[in-house]
C-alpha cells in the first residue's frame, strides 16, 4: 500500500519503548545500539475496506488543515513547536475556515480525531518556552476549532470500553486478556501528554503482549472521555529469551471521512511512538523493517518492561487519567465550560 502523503509512513510505531514510566530511562538507554536481528513471526494481515471516496476528515476544509506542512509533516501533528509556529500564518486562516463547516455534518470519528489533533498542537504550543502574540493567536484558533467540533456530553461514550477495532486484533477467543498495571501512568501516555490512554493486552501466559492506544476527546463542557478510536496497536511475540516477532498497526485516516475506524499494518518503523505525540522515545536515522526486529534494541529480553498485573481494575487507572486530561485542557483555556452551540 502506497504511503499517504499527508501522513508519512516514516511516522509508524512499534512497541519498542518500555511500557512503564518507571523503566523509561533504563530500558531505552541503548535504544540506538545495533542488535542482532531476531526471527519475525508472519501472521495474516487484517483486511481493509475499499478506499473511502469522501474527503479526508469528512470535509475539504478539514482536509486542508493537514496539507499545511511543518518540518516535512502535517503541522497539526508535528512535535516541532518552532516549525508549527512558522506554519501559523498559513494555518490560522484555514482553522477559521474549518469552523464554517457544520460539525454535525462530519462523521463523529473524524470530528474526534481532528479535535484530538488540534488539542495536541495547542498543548505543545502552551508548553513551549516561547510566549508571543503569534503563539497565542495560533493557540486561540486551535482551541476555537476544538470548541466547534466538541460533541455534547450526553453524546460522549460512557465507560471505559476498549475500541472495537482493537478487539479484532486481540480477540478474547485467541486467548487475549486485558491487564492493568501497578503503575498509574505509562510512558507512552506521558509522551502524548495524557491525550491518549494505552491499554495492555496479554495472550496466554505472556507469550505475546500488545499496547492499544485509545484517543481521548473533550466534550462541550470540557470533560474528557474515551473515544472508540484506535490510535495504534503495538504487538510483541515473546519467548523466554525475549521478542521473537513484532507487528504494528496505525489508524488509517483515509477512512475517517466515511466514518470508519480502520487500521493499517506497517512493515517498517522510524519513530516511536505515533504521530501526534509531544516527542519521540526513539528516532531512527532511517526507517527499518520490522523483520529485522529493531525492537530488540530496547526489549532485549522478556523482562525488558514491567509485567502487568490484575490487582486493580482497568477503570480504576483510566478514570483519574481522564480527569487529569480534562483539567489539562481547561488549564490552557482550550475549552470554555459552556456548550459549543452557545459560543
**Residue 290's pLDDT band (cuts 50, 70, 90):** confident
Q: Which of 78-92, 236-250, 276-290 has the highest mean pLDDT?
A: 78-92
How far apart (Å, rounded) are the C-alpha atoms in residues 15 and 19?
Answer: 8
**Residue 129's pLDDT band (cuts 50, 70, 90):** confident
Looking at the fold, whether 139 and 93 belong to one and the same domain comes out as yes
Does residue 5 carry a pLDDT above 90? no
- In percent, the amount of the chain with pLDDT more than 90 equals 53
Looking at the fold, whether 196 and 291 belong to one and the same domain comes out as yes
Strand (E) or helix (H) holding 325? helix 314-331
Instruction: Give the three cell numbers for residue 103.
Output: 460539525
**Residue 299's pLDDT band (cuts 50, 70, 90):** low
- Please give the model's pTM, rounded to 2 decimal places: 0.82
Question: Can you give the pLDDT at residue 50?
Answer: 63
Question: Can you give the pLDDT at residue 21?
Answer: 35
Instruction: Give the three cell numbers for residue 256.
Output: 475517517
Question: Can you give the pLDDT at residue 232?
Answer: 93
Does residue 31 carry a pLDDT above 50? no
SS3 16: coil
Confirm if 299 and 243 have CB atoms less than 8 A apart. yes
Sequence-ordered list of residues with C-beta below 8 angstroms from that of 173, at least 6 positions apart, any chain: none
DSSP string, 256-267: GGGT---EEEES
Question: Can you give the pLDDT at residue 262?
Answer: 95
**Higher per-residue pLDDT: 24 or 196:** 196
If one counts the domains in the chain, the total is 2
Which tens digit of pLDDT belongs to each residue from 171-212? 999 999 998 887 889 889 999 999 999 999 999 888 898 999
**Residue 65's pLDDT band (cuts 50, 70, 90):** very high
Question: Can you give the pLDDT at residue 73?
Answer: 92
Looking at the fold, whether 212 and 68 belong to one and the same domain comes out as no
Last residue of a domain, one of 120, 155, 190: 155
- Nearest C-alpha neighbor of 72 from the set 2, 146, 11: 11
Question: Can you give the pLDDT at residue 341?
Answer: 36
Looking at the fold, whether 305 and 180 belong to one and the same domain comes out as yes
**Quick check: is 334 in a domain?**
no
- Domain, as residue range, for 22: 9-51+159-274+286-323
Mean pLDDT of the chain: 80
Looking at the fold, whether 316 and 180 belong to one and the same domain comes out as yes
If one counts every other C-beta atom within 10 angstroms of the C-beta of residue 330, the result is: 17
Looking at the fold, whether 84 and 187 belong to one and the same domain comes out as no
**Quick check: is 331 in a domain?**
no
Which tens digit of pLDDT belongs to each residue from 149-167? 999 999 998 899 999 999 9
How far apart (Å, rounded) are the C-alpha atoms in residues 328 and 337?
Answer: 13
If one counts every other C-beta atom within 10 angstroms of the C-beta of residue 236, the result is: 27
Looking at the fold, whether 101 and 184 belong to one and the same domain comes out as no
Last residue of a domain, one of 155, 187, 205: 155
Amino acid at each position: 500500500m502506497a504511503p499517504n502523503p499527508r501522513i508519512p509512513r516514516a511516522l509508524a510505531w512499534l512497541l519498542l519503548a518500555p511500557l512503564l514510566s518507571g523503566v523509561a530511562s533504563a530500558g531505552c538507554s541503548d535504544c540506538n545500539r545495533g542488535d542482532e536481528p531476531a526471527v519475525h513471526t508472519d501472521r495474516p494481515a487484517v483486511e481493509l475496506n475499499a478506499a473511502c471516496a469522501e474527503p479526508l476528515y469528512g470535509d475539504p476544509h478539514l482536509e486542508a488543515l493537514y496539507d499545511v506542512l511543518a518540518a516535512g509533516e502535517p503541522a497539526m501533528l508535528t512535535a516541532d513547536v518552532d516549525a508549527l509556529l512558522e506554519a501559523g500564518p498559513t494555518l490560522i486562516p484555514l482553522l477559521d475556515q474549518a469552523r464554517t463547516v457544520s460539525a454535525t455534518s462530519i462523521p463523529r470519528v473524524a470530528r474526534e480525531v481532528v479535535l484530538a489533533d488540534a488539542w495536541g498542537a495547542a498543548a505543545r504550543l502552551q508548553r513551549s518556552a516561547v510566549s508571543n502574540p503569534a503563539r497565542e493567536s495560533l493557540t486561540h484558533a486551535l482551541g476555537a476549532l476544538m470548541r466547534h467540533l466538541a460533541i455534547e456530553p450526553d453524546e460522549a461514550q460512557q465507560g471505559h470500553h476498549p475500541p472495537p477495532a482493537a478487539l479484532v486484533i486481540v480477540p478474547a477467543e485467541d486467548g487475549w486478556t486485558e491487564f492493568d498495571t501497578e503503575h498509574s501512568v505509562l510512558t507512552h501516555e506521558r509522551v502524548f501528554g495524557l491525550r491518549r490512554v494505552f491499554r495492555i493486552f496479554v495472550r496466554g501466559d505472556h507469550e505475546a503482549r500488545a499496547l492499544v492506544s485509545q484517543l481521548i476527546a473533550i466534550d462541550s463542557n470540557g470533560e474528557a472521555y474515551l473515544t472508540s478510536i484506535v490510535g495504534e496497536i503495538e504487538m510483541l511475540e515473546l519467548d523466554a529469551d525475549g521478542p521473537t516477532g513484532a507487528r504494528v498497526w496505525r489508524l488509517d485516516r483515509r477512512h475517517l471521512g466515511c466514518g470508519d475506524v480502520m487500521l493499517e499494518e506497517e512493515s517498517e518503523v522510524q519513530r516511536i511512538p505515533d504521530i501526534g505525540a509531544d516527542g519521540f522515545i526513539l528516532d531512527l536515522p532511517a526507517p527499518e523493517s520490522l523483520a529485522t526486529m529493531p525492537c530488540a534494541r530496547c526489549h532485549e529480553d522478556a523482562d525488558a518492561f514491567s509485567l502487568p498485573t490484575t490487582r486493580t481494575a482497568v477503570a480504576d487507572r483510566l478514570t483519574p487519567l481522564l480527569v487529569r486530561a480534562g483539567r489539562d485542557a481547561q488549564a490552557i483555556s482550550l475549552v470554555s465550560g459552556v456548550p459549543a452551540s452557545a459560543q
